[in-house]
Amino acid sequence: MNPIITRSLTKKFGNFIATNAITFEVLPGEIFGFLGANGAGKTTAMRMLCGLLKPSSGEAFVAGYNVYTQTEKVKKSIGYMSQRFSLYEDLTVKENIRFYGGIYGLSNQQIKDKTAQLLQKLGIEKEAGQLVGALPLGWKQKLSFSVAILHDPAIVFLDEPTGGVDPVTRRQFWDMIYEAANSGVTVFVTTHYMDEAEYCNRVSIMVDGKIEALDTPVALKSHYQADTMNDVFLQLARGK
């Protein structure tokens, strides 16, 4: 069973349809880009997939679990990094790692080992005792991502993870995403940066709650006779 499966997944707020019968599957270890203009319905769809919002109709399975009836199992199988991250600015780097390790149910020994690995990987051993609030934004993002996959989830959901940082830092962040995907984690990522869409294995583009296109960046560019993903995106967004 693929790690994410949706069939006609729909969310209505009153008469307004925020997510309109979306159907797609994400493959194991894939980096799946979930694109759409502001208000297209991406966050709503992602929240349903993370077990945080009940769908109005349709079906969805995440890590093999039903998002209606097995939300706790869904939550245990995934990592989630929100737009605002989830780190505590008034706790140190080490305290944040320990805190999330505890929430994810890791043992003290596992937390100790993971902390050492993570600090070394990010090259921030010296900053372990520093308050997260004092770290540069790019470091916070990398730490936030590392914390989201601390418990080795099958799938990680990233909601606009690279907002506000420079292109070099974004590129480094994407190296981390590739590394996670190579180790078997399935990555579901929303972004506004079209150069990042090119880094994804496949991309879906949402317009007004519906998925208007879904394919590899190369296939999408060929189909829409576009040089860049930005051109593909503009054609779809304008064509409505």
Ligand X SMILES: Nc1ncnc2c1ncn2[C@@H]1O[C@H](COP(=O)(O)OP(=O)(O)OP(=O)(O)O)[C@@H](O)[C@H]1O
Least distance to ligand X, CB of residue 222, Å: 26
The answer to whether the beta carbons of residues 25 and 9 sit under 8 Å apart is no
Q: Specify burial of residue 184 (Cβ count, 10 A radius: 0-12, 13-18, 19+).
A: exposed
Nearer to ligand X, 58 or 101 (CB): 58
- CA–CA gap between residue 150 and residue 101 (Å, rounded): 7
Tally Cβ neighbours within 10 Å of residue 135: 18
- The DSSP-derived string for 167-196 is HHHHHHHHHHHHHHHHTT-EEEEE-S-HHH
Q: Which residue has the tokens 């093999």?
A: 64
* 3-state DSSP assignment of residue 57: strand
Token pair recorded at residue 65: 């679990």
With CB under 6 A, what is the number of residues at the site for ligand X?
11
Nearer to ligand X, 40 or 150 (CB): 40
Per-residue contact flags (x/-) with ligand X for residues 26 to 55, judged by CB under 6 A:
----------x-xxxxxxx-----------
Q: Which residue has the tokens 């991250």?
A: 85
Least distance to ligand X, CB of residue 105, Å: 29
Nearer to ligand X, 12 or 112 (CB): 12
Nearer to ligand X, 130 or 230 (CB): 230
Least distance to ligand X, CB of residue 232, Å: 17
Q: Which of 13, 84, 90, 223 binds ligand X (CB under 6 A)?
A: 13
Tally Cβ neighbours within 10 Å of residue 166: 11
Least distance to ligand X, CB of residue 44, Å: 3
Nearer to ligand X, 39 or 129 (CB): 39
Least distance to ligand X, CB of residue 56, Å: 12
Least distance to ligand X, CB of residue 184, Å: 27
Q: Is 10 in the site for ligand X (CB under 6 A)?
A: no
Nearer to ligand X, 11 or 114 (CB): 11
Helices 137-148 & 108-122, crossing angle to 10 degrees? 140
- CA–CA gap between residue 156 and residue 173 (Å, rounded): 14
Nearer to ligand X, 43 or 77 (CB): 43
Q: Which residue has the tokens 């966050």?
A: 43
Least distance to ligand X, CB of residue 14, Å: 7
Give contact residues for ligand X (rule: CB under 6 A).
13, 16, 18, 36, 38-44
